[in-house]
Structure 1
Amino acid sequence: MVKTYYKAINWNSVEDAIDKATWEKLTEQFWLDTRIPLSNDLDDWRTLNDTEKKVVDHVFGGLTLLDTLQSQDGIDQLRKDIRTPQETAVFNNIQFMESVHAKSYSSIFSTLCSADEIDEIFEWTDHNEFLQKKAEKVNEIYQNGTPLEKKVASVFLETFLFYSGFYTPLYYLGNNKLANVAEIIKLIIRDESVHGTYIGYKFQLGFKELTEAEQDRFKDWMYNLLYDLYDNEERYTEDLYDDIGWTEDVKTFLRYNANKALMNLGQNPLFPDTADDVNPIVMNGLSTGTANHDFFSQVGNGYLLGHVSAMNDQDYDIGRK
């Protein structure tokens, strides 16, 4: 009998059904930015004033940085602590789509902005103190944290920290502007919803293996991390939105999504904010299905994507029963 040197992945013998379900969910909603007709938003873009354009530019610059962090460092670190062979395949898919997300913002920039404006966006992104601080905080956990700490950092990033940027395109979508830009954001949100629930589920499996005392200590660490990230995110939000007057609305949206992140981790919410407290224009933008049609039946720039729906809370309701 030859000694096994390398094991083949066997999708016919799956240890965790959530791995297979997540793989199928992610592959069925595959998309690329090159198929969204962003140039159709140029007329809307020209109606925005300079302050509004600056906000859009900078929030997308910030999102580009966070997706870069997730695709280059975050998923690599999470992949080191897998429980099943299929989990590696799921993380491979997630890593690729995070790269697609990061590239999508550059497609938006190249459509709406001049070369000099694009240079300014990345200069701002590379040197904004609050943006750099949250990237540093999350990546420090990726590089030096425990497997459970890394999963918490990832869920906080994807289900909470992204949303200070997501607010802007959802607001414009709710006001019937920049529909194709928002289409990309809704597709990204749909992906991140699956990523957050899946990684949160994997966290819950490991968390249940801790003793009660270990769980209590870990909860203290987790909520302290959230407080720290939220404090910085408030300042980042003020830096982005004070000039346009949206700061307090965005903070409410952040607190609502921080609670969603905790829910993905199987934990109790921290903030009193609910969907009813969020600007209804933004919630409408978040919940409205896209006008785009089936992407498997069309090719080229004219095709638009089918119904974009985020994961429901119950889709991965394992561990919270």
Structure 2
Amino acid sequence: MANTDTPSSTYYKAINWNNIEDQIDKATWEKLTEQFWLDTRIPLSNDLDDWRTLSPLEHTLVGHVFGGLTLLDTLQSQDGMNQVRKDVRTPQELAVFNQIQFMESVHAKSYSSIFSTLNTSEEIDEIFDWTSKNPYLQKKAKIVNEIYQNGTPLEKKVASVFLETFLFYSGFYTPLYYLGNNKLANVAEIIKLIIRDESVHGTYIGYKFQLGFNELSDDEQQRLRDWMYDLLYELASNEENYTETLYGEIGWVDEVKVFLHYNANKALMNLGQEPLYPETADDVNPIVMNGISTGTSNHDFFSQVGNGYLLGHVEAMNDSDYDIGRPKKDDKK
């Protein structure tokens, strides 16, 4: 007699990493797991001597910068990736998004490690109060999250790439500037690790966007492209106002805006679109570009946990970091 308890169709399928539909999924998983890190492995207290040489204005700037970054990484870890991962092509892609979501939580937590090292409890309260009340920071969170909650799958990917590759960089400018001036090296090391992650996140999600975008009709592509550039204009206008609130007193507004335009173009490149702004790497403050391109810090901050915790060095950032999924010029066809 037949077993009537035997299901007539498969209820749930196991993920099979030996049957890869898209090799970019496997390559990205391996890249992200190879560069896994935790903030607890970095001796932030070694930056206290540098911190004491900074002015009260600089202390406020650093605190507000990292407060803003904390809010954006919270948005990305709690809502952004949770929404983007709902539309996947392969089970391996979902696994990659799970890893990205976890690392966004690590990023958000890392800023609190910086606060607890550099700031008093009263200063930390002020920082989080500021993030809750700054109108431009709240506006960009609102714009992006409304797309996450109500947008199409492709629109959600655009919002994610704009956040990862563009909107974070008004905050990244400060620690990279200090690193280029040989200050706050351990704080900057965390930022370089975060940038290394965000580079992969932005290129991977941009690649997945391009797969869906290329399946649209010409009219559908143009409508989505128009929406994309309109969104970028709206975010860029707000981001310039946000930059003025952060950097107005210290006098860095114009150079930070150049850095923003440069990274907005990178975000568009991730999405397979034409750049919007004339700025290139040559226009960015060379001190900041030096901070990005500097390799590891002058100490092995992982040696304290033994040889069982070996991670790759923080690599220099360059244009090829944005080319995941796109053939190199010298690749064989």
Fold-level similarity (TM above 0.5):
yes
What number of residue pairs does the alignment pair up? 318
What's the CA shift for 1:319?
7.7
Aligned partner letter, 2:140: K
What's the CA shift for 1:318?
2.5
Q: Determine the structure 1 residue equivalent to 2:59.
A: 53
Taking a change above 3 Å as real, the CA distance of residues 279 and 304 of structure 1, as seen in their structure-2 partners, is farther
Question: How far apart in 1 are the matches of 2:325 and 2:286?
Answer: 26
Aligned partner letter, 1:318: R
Taking a change above 3 Å as real, the CA distance of residues 97 and 45 of structure 1, as seen in their structure-2 partners, is same
Q: Determine the structure 2 residue equivalent to 1:205.
A: 211
Contact 1:37 1:180 survives alignment (8 Å): yes
Q: Determine the structure 2 residue equivalent to 1:109.
A: 115
Larger Rg: 2
Q: Determine the structure 1 residue equivalent to 2:76.
A: 70
What 5-or-longer segments of structure 1 have no aligned partner?
none
Q: Determine the structure 2 residue equivalent to 1:130.
A: 136
Among residues 122, 127, 145, which one is paired with 1:139 in the alignment?
Answer: 145
Contact 2:269 2:322 survives alignment (8 Å): no
Question: How far apart in 2 are the matches of 1:51 and 1:252?
Answer: 22
Secondary structure of the corresponding residue to residue 284 of structure 1: helix
Matched, 1:316 2:309: no
Point out 4+ residue stretches in structure 1 off by more than 6 angstroms.
none
What's the CA shift for 1:224?
0.4
What TM-score does the superposition give when structure 2 sets the normalisation length?
0.92
Secondary structure of the corresponding residue to residue 81 of structure 1: coil
Contact 2:203 2:324 survives alignment (8 Å): yes
Among residues 258, 274, 277, which one is paired with 2:283 in the alignment?
Answer: 277
Q: Determine the structure 1 residue equivalent to 2:3.
A: none
Secondary structure of the corresponding residue to residue 123 of structure 2: helix
What's the CA shift for 1:317?
4.0
Question: How far apart in 2 are the matches of 1:246 and 1:196?
Answer: 26
Among residues 217, 223, 226, which one is paired with 2:223 in the alignment?
Answer: 217
Deviations 1:278-302, CA, capped at 9 Å, x for gaps: 000000000110124384x6408xx
Matched, 1:184 2:197: no
Contact 1:205 1:319 survives alignment (8 Å): no
Among residues 251, 255, 258, which one is paired with 2:261 in the alignment?
Answer: 255
Secondary structure of the corresponding residue to residue 80 of structure 1: coil
Question: How far apart in 2 are the matches of 1:133 and 1:145?
Answer: 17
Q: Determine the structure 2 residue equivalent to 1:32.
A: 38
Deviations 1:48-71, CA, capped at 9 Å, x for gaps: 001011000000000000000000
Aligned partner letter, 1:178: L
Deviations 1:190-236, CA, capped at 9 Å, x for gaps: 00000000000000000000001111111110000000000000000
Among residues 18, 22, 25, which one is paired with 2:28 in the alignment?
Answer: 22
Question: How far apart in 1 are the matches of 2:173 and 2:311?
Answer: 21
Question: How far apart in 2 are the matches of 1:173 and 1:320?
Answer: 31
Aligned partner letter, 1:316: I
What TM-score does the superposition give when structure 1 sets the normalisation length?
0.96
Contact 1:293 1:307 survives alignment (8 Å): no
What's the CA shift for 1:123?
0.2
What's the CA shift for 1:307?
1.9
Aligned partner letter, 2:292: L
Matched, 1:236 2:245: no
Identity within the alignment, %: 79
Superposed counterparts of 1:80-91, under 5 Å:
80-91=86-97
What's the CA shift for 1:252?
0.3
Contact 1:63 1:162 survives alignment (8 Å): yes
Aligned partner letter, 2:326: I
Aligned partner letter, 1:81: D
Secondary structure of the corresponding residue to residue 150 of structure 1: helix
Question: How far apart in 2 are the matches of 1:14 and 1:56?
Answer: 44
Secondary structure of the corresponding residue to residue 305 of structure 2: coil
Q: Determine the structure 1 residue equivalent to 2:18.
A: 12
Question: How far apart in 2 are the matches of 1:176 and 1:255?
Answer: 25
